[in-house]
Amino acid sequence: MNINQKAQNYLKVLSAETITNAQAGNLGVCLGASSILFSLFKDHLNFDVSDTDFINRDRLVLSADHASALYYSVMSMFGFDISLQDLKNYGKKGSKTPIFAEYGKTDGVEITTGPSGQGVANAVGMAIAEAVMEERFNTVGFDIINNYTYCFASDADIMEGVAMEAASLAGTLKLAKLILLYDSNEVSMDGSLDLTNRENVAKKFAAMGWNVITVENGNSYFFCTHAIARAKKSTKPTIIIFKTIIGLGTLKEGTSVVHNEILTQEELKILKQELKVKESFFIPSDVRELCMASTRRGKLMHEKWNQDLAMYSSTHPELYKSFSMFFDRKKISFDRILKNVSKYDGLSTTKINHYVLSELAYQCPQLLGGTADNAIESLAYIENAGNFSAGYKRGKNIRFGVREGAMSAICNGIALYEDFITFETSYMAFANYSLPAIRLRSIMQIPVLSFFTNDSVVESGSGAAYQPIEQIGSLRAIINNTVYRPCDYKEIVAGYTYSLKNYLPVCFALSKQNIKHIDNTSLDGALQGGYLLKNSGAKPQVVLVASGSEVELALEAEKELSKKYKVNVVSMPSLEVFEKQTAAYKNKVISKEADIICVLEASNDTKWYKVLGGKTEVFGIDEYLENSIEKDALEKYGFNTKAIAKFIETKLKTK
Amino acid sequence: MNINQKAQNYLKVLSAETITNAQAGNLGVCLGASSILFSLFKDHLNFDVSDTDFINRDRLVLSADHASALYYSVMSMFGFDISLQDLKNYGKKGSKTPIFAEYGKTDGVEITTGPSGQGVANAVGMAIAEAVMEERFNTVGFDIINNYTYCFASDADIMEGVAMEAASLAGTLKLAKLILLYDSNEVSMDGSLDLTNRENVAKKFAAMGWNVITVENGNSYFFCTHAIARAKKSTKPTIIIFKTIIGLGTLKEGTSVVHNEILTQEELKILKQELKVKESFFIPSDVRELCMASTRRGKLMHEKWNQDLAMYSSTHPELYKSFSMFFDRKKISFDRILKNVSKYDGLSTTKINHYVLSELAYQCPQLLGGTADNAIESLAYIENAGNFSAGYKRGKNIRFGVREGAMSAICNGIALYEDFITFETSYMAFANYSLPAIRLRSIMQIPVLSFFTNDSVVESGSGAAYQPIEQIGSLRAIINNTVYRPCDYKEIVAGYTYSLKNYLPVCFALSKQNIKHIDNTSLDGALQGGYLLKNSGAKPQVVLVASGSEVELALEAEKELSKKYKVNVVSMPSLEVFEKQTAAYKNKVISKEADIICVLEASNDTKWYKVLGGKTEVFGIDEYLENSIEKDALEKYGFNTKAIAKFIETKLKTK
């Protein structure tokens, strides 16, 4: 048996033992796809185990995260900080080897991919980021950035719409350094793929502009490594279709039952006999030496890169300076942005956001993002920065196409490649398409700016399907996500500040309609989530709380109500940020002594009740508005001073 | 000018005038795609304007609903109940011609498609439903059901993942009577498609198993009608790629600016001169006569179908009986289901649901649904009913593949074809993928049963990405959607009853873990959304409210708390249904006199605060659980009697 074969056998046994030991994990893919990952790590992947954040490392995105036991095993073999003991701790509380690989828990794991399909789009994002860096910083003789992005994907990934959207965009953008390693075992959880997917994946990807390589024997090291070598030379993104046998070497190989299989000790023994492995949780010294050669290769390549960079710095001092400062956020002057956009006060927050974005771009070369085909309405593009395209990779505006789901997952990839400041844009009514990726982003705490425009039912003409009502609540309900619904330029800048300084994801709800100038708004207040706009004195009877376009209305209502009652007005652009303030601050803003705390927001979000407490009444929307092209639909629906005053008086009487 | 040309010219002008008159709508597609819809209605579509519910009618799904002005205009020409005055009322409040076509507002409009992509998947659902009917009821000489499903789609639809998922499944299932009319104008809202989508759509669809027809001149009636004629003969689903020019006949034709264009009176005049139309909102008598010939054809075909059916009834009396009873719901005995599944009390609600589903299938031949590749775990399949596939269209279990988004949109199509009882199944952690279609379903009020399994973080091992916490709140926040989170078989049957009797969509949150037998549960109580499980007397101090798997825990906590306090326990499987009850009933269940209303639910849903009022405290989850393969993660997190008792005591003290 040659050493490569031997190494793969030990790799298979390692992952099988990991799974049996933990009584958790998915065996099928670990036995079926070992050659793919082994050949990748051995011959191709550019990695440095002593510096896994090395910017020019190759990225590997494990979209098929049910292969995590295999992934950890191969990482362990190739010198990453995963010991055999860590494999024994697979899935245990606090271990660095969770059942499904997670960003931040294991050195070298690039991203949490979660539900099928997401990882493919994440990889497209990383490949976009690489292309940007390559375009901006490489010069003749100096390939400062030239890493590949590999994505390991399964039959499930290939069925998911988010992956297909991303693949279509990758082909359009000709992302040559993107290589999709498709473990085609033709079995999914419920059975043979025949029943669910008979498409010709090769032809489908070719039609999307991809280079396609098919490896008939995907369980052979030799064929796998040569295919990857060929893929690296492509001028288009490449999919390598590895035909593999799920659960290879077990009695149930090639069937769906082996997908979630956990071998018994007896079955494990049979597998080990077949693979000629006697020891448990063991890597023989010759195999370890084989792998260490690749680990050393990685280290040497990093050293060579350091030398190249030193030479680059003397040959191209200006470029080098840009390169080393590229991701620096400390230089951002939010004051300057605030000052420069103040002249747009009184416009819609959608319009103001356009100028904030362009001001930020002026200070930050690392700003990169775009829209799902609604730039014309959302205005979320950077002036004079061009579109990122196959022919112009210097462009800063990404045109994602009508692919909202992929857009959001791609942004996660861009943000994780390195510290890009990235943004995405959609209509609030379509925010549901983005939720899966926003959820993962929130779990990982990666800072993407999400812009959702047409954020309320201010016009009803397009009908219920286009009336956003519950979406802002769904965004706010995502744990560790933050929503800002600003009422003016100061509050917009607060949202940016909160995201950029804290490296946190923020979703913006932006108005279509203009919002009149509002006195006393405050960036500092908005940075605390909510603050008093109008203070009637020590003990108000009524506290009016509003967000975004309804703040204007709250101030109008205050004029009416203050004839009879002591009324405070609070602007609360972010419930999540407000929740985090001290009890003293919160009580100052929302006086506990008040008789009623009335929230004005054109949504049905119930989070207000939780954040503001037992006296809260929400004046919101619980139904779709009647279709009408007439303006002021919201006002006619009852979002007017008179109705609000009546609502509050009635509530006060029944208290 | 021949009469077909003349008719199309008047059609174009009608839609352009409709838009200009309303100052709303999208002109580009109306001028670019008129030949497609005109040739469809004139020569192919099987419709009866006097009975638009005729079961064997051809379905037309307007996925590209920005073509609504054109759609209404062509419907008006061909005798549907849309007058020229209705076109003048386009977009006005209460009109039957909303800006985007909506189900239920206009006779003959099949479905509200909303966001791009959804309509394509809806059409796949309708084609599945047709195939089922065809397979079950047609016999030699009697094609009782043989209608086509047409879907009009744009470049935006072709980019959306949900559409691509559905297309892949349609190819796999060989849905021969599905015809996608793709208006390929190579322009989307933000500009030329070159920047966002360069794929070869023809080859992509061929790879997915579709018949592909390309019409180079999609603005020619002759080529359009011949292409549709060819498509009808296919044994695979067909995409006709009509190369068209957006905004044809205007100064801005072929550009993105014409997409949302509204012509001025002056521009309209020029267009009308070019198209040789003098009148306003007018259909000349020769054009009307031309169209009426097709309208008559439709009526005659319906009459012929009636005659065929009469003959069928005498030739195949048994089949005819099945056919005429097929969609009858009155025969359903929920009592029988309840009785037969009672023996499974004490299992997980996921397992019990399996038996409820199979019992329902026993009574209802019109039950049809499936899973997104998780039948093995969700058990949401009908025993011994087979899989619906290209080769076996009698199967009742649809294997949607790992295509959650398309699954949900496809179910909408099945349910709207005719009164199928249809179901879909996914993990609660992946529910976000289904939200766009569930939202549209709720707007349309079409009854689909959604099963979301693994509905809480009872096990934490798979990590945050797989821990459902906020999803149930997002489902409950959708207006007119209903969520049931049952604690036993009676409450499951209540959810089914609520959906099936009221023709309403219901989402079920189902437990992975077994739930012990609970005394005093009640189908009637569950049909009111919530009810008393344990009544301590007239004035309780504490009301414990729980749903699903937490009801068991509430009863345990009651044992502890009742040593000190008077405690009521409420099971509340559905907040939405409970909200609709009378104030008297609600007050009986949730005693206003109590000092605290404590909700137990392993979610972060804030809707509880709104529904149960100011004294509500939610004992829920606000963060992801630590990964661990150990069992009882939820209990360790604090979902145990002791912690609950402490929580309540603390809250009582601070009140």
Q: What ipTM did this prediction achieve?
A: 0.97
Domain with CATH 3.40.50.920 in chain B: 528-653
> Would you say how long chain B is, in residues?
655
Most confident of A255-259, A546-550, B194-198: A546-550
A246: pLDDT strictly greater than 80: yes
B261: pLDDT strictly greater than 80: yes
Q: State whether B374 and A190 contact (CB < 8 Å).
A: yes
Q: Which two tokens stand for residue A235?
A: 């001028």
Among the listed ranges A501-510, B73-82, B581-590, B625-634, which one has the minimum average pLDDT value?
B625-634
What pLDDT is recorded for position A310? 98
Place of tokens 């993942």: B161
| Amino acid identity for residue A212 in this structure | V
Tell whether B512 is within 8 A of chain A (Cβ): no
**Residue pLDDT, tens place only, A169-220:** 999 999 999 999 999 998 888 888 888 999 999 999 999 999 999 999 999 9
Q: State whether B164 and A165 contact (CB < 8 Å).
A: yes
Which among B105, B373, B605 is the nearest to A188, CB-wise? Answer: B373
A13: pLDDT strictly greater than 80: yes
Angle A18-A19-A23 from CA coordinates, rounded to 5°: 125
Q: State whether A440 and B465 contact (CB < 8 Å).
A: yes
What pLDDT is recorded for position A496? 98
Band the pLDDT of A324: cuts 50, 70, 90. very high
What pLDDT is recorded for position A270? 95
Tell whether A111 is within 8 A of chain B (Cβ): no
Q: What distance in Å separates residue A258's CA from the closest CA in chain B? A: 13
B632: pLDDT strictly greater than 90: no
Q: Which two tokens stand for residue A616?
A: 């809260």
Taking one residue from A and the other from B, the number of pairs with CB-CB distance under 8 angstroms is: 324
What pLDDT is recorded for position A258? 82
Q: What is the mean pLDDT of residues A320-330?
A: 96
Nearby residues of B398 by Cβ (< 8 Å), 6 or more positions away: B128, B368, B369, B370, B387, B388, B410
Question: Considering only CA atoms, which of A158, A208, A216 is closest in space to residue A182?
Answer: A158
B655: pLDDT strictly greater than 80: no
What pLDDT is recorded for position A30? 95
Band the pLDDT of A1: cuts 50, 70, 90. confident
Provide DSSP, B385-422.
Answer: --EE-SS-TT--EEE--S-HHHHHHHHHHHHHHSS-EE
A538: pLDDT strictly greater than 80: no
Pair type for strands B531-534 and B567-571: antiparallel
- Measured distance CA(A548)–CA(A346) in Å, rounded: 12
What pLDDT is recorded for position B170? 98
Residues 597-616 of A with CB under 8 A from B: 604-607, 609-610, 614-616
**Residue pLDDT, tens place only, B90-118:** 999 999 999 999 999 999 999 999 999 99
User: How far from A563 is each of A560, A566, A645, B577, B597, CA to CA, in Å?
Assistant: 6, 8, 11, 40, 36
What pLDDT is recorded for position B447? 94
Band the pLDDT of A441: cuts 50, 70, 90. very high
DSSP conformation class of B428:
G
Among the listed ranges A191-200, A314-323, A526-535, which one has the minimum average pLDDT value?
A191-200
A605: pLDDT strictly greater than 90: yes
Pair type for strands B178-184 and B149-154: parallel
Q: State whether A371 and B168 contact (CB < 8 Å).
A: no
- Measured distance CA(B158)–CA(B163) in Å, rounded: 7
Q: What is the mean pLDDT of residues B492-510?
A: 98
Residues 207-236 of B with CB under 8 A from A: 207-209
Which among B162, B463, B615 is the nearest to A99, CB-wise? Answer: B463
Provide DSSP, B213-275.
Answer: EEES-TT-HHHHHHHHHHHTT-SS-EEEEEE--TTTTSTTTTSGGGTT----HHHHHHHHHHT
What pLDDT is recorded for position A574? 98
Residues 43-82 of B with CB under 8 A from A: none
B238: pLDDT strictly greater than 90: yes
**Residue pLDDT, tens place only, A24-48:** 999 999 999 999 999 999 999 999 9
Q: State whether A436 and B432 contact (CB < 8 Å).
A: yes
Task: List B368's β-bridge partners, or say none.
Answer: B422
B538: pLDDT strictly greater than 80: no
Q: What distance in Å separates residue A11's CA from the closest CA in chain B? A: 23
Question: Considering only CA atoms, which of A350, A410, A431, A399 is closest in space to residue B187?
Answer: A399
Band the pLDDT of B614: cuts 50, 70, 90. confident
Tell whether B349 is within 8 A of chain A (Cβ): no
Domain with CATH 3.40.50.970 in chain B: 3-299, 334-509
Write out chain B residues lying below 8 Å of A197, CB-based: 168-169, 172, 401
B401: pLDDT strictly greater than 90: yes
The pTM (predicted TM-score) of the whole model is: 0.98
Backbone angles phi, psi at B185, to 5 degrees: -105, 0
Q: What is the mean pLDDT of residues A590-615?
A: 95
| Residues of A catalogued as catalytic | 404
Band the pLDDT of B319: cuts 50, 70, 90. very high
- Measured distance CA(B517)–CA(B343) in Å, rounded: 11
Write out chain A residues lying below 8 Å of B429, CB-based: 115
In contact, A397 and B196? CB cutoff 8 Å: no
Band the pLDDT of B5: cuts 50, 70, 90. very high
What pLDDT is recorded for position B589? 97
What pLDDT is recorded for position A401? 96
Write out chain B residues lying below 8 Å of A628, CB-based: 91-93
Instruction: Note the CATH architecture for domain A528-653.
Output: 3-Layer(aba) Sandwich (3.40)
CA torsion angle for B543, B546, B550, B551 (degrees, to 10)? 70
Band the pLDDT of B187: cuts 50, 70, 90. confident
Write out chain A residues lying below 8 Å of B182, CB-based: none
Among the listed ranges A75-84, A182-191, A328-337, B485-494, which one has the minimum average pLDDT value?
A182-191
**What is the percentage of chain A residues whose pLDDT exceeds 90?**
92
At B100 the three-state DSSP class reads coil
> Would you say how long chain A is, in residues?
655
Q: What distance in Å separates residue B192's CA from the closest CA in chain A? A: 11
Residue ranges of the alpha helices (H) in A146-200? 155-159, 161-173
Side-chain-facing half-sphere of B252: CA atoms under 13 Å: 17
CATH class of A334-509: alpha beta
Share the mean pLDDT of chain A.
Answer: 96
Choices 3.30.1490.20, 3.40.50.970, 1.10.4190.10, 1.20.120.80: CATH for B3-299: 3.40.50.970
Q: State whether A630 and B93 contact (CB < 8 Å).
A: yes
Tell whether B104 is within 8 A of chain A (Cβ): no
B592: pLDDT strictly greater than 90: no
**What is the percentage of chain B residues whose pLDDT exceeds 70?**
100
**What is the percentage of chain A residues whose pLDDT exceeds 70?**
100
CB atoms within 10 A of CB A353: 30
Active site includes B404?
Answer: yes
**Residue pLDDT, tens place only, B147-161:** 999 999 999 999 999
Tell whether A25 is within 8 A of chain B (Cβ): no
- Measured distance CA(A188)–CA(A175) in Å, rounded: 29
**Residue pLDDT, tens place only, A150-168:** 999 999 999 999 999 999 9
A654: pLDDT strictly greater than 90: no
In contact, A18 and A73? CB cutoff 8 Å: yes
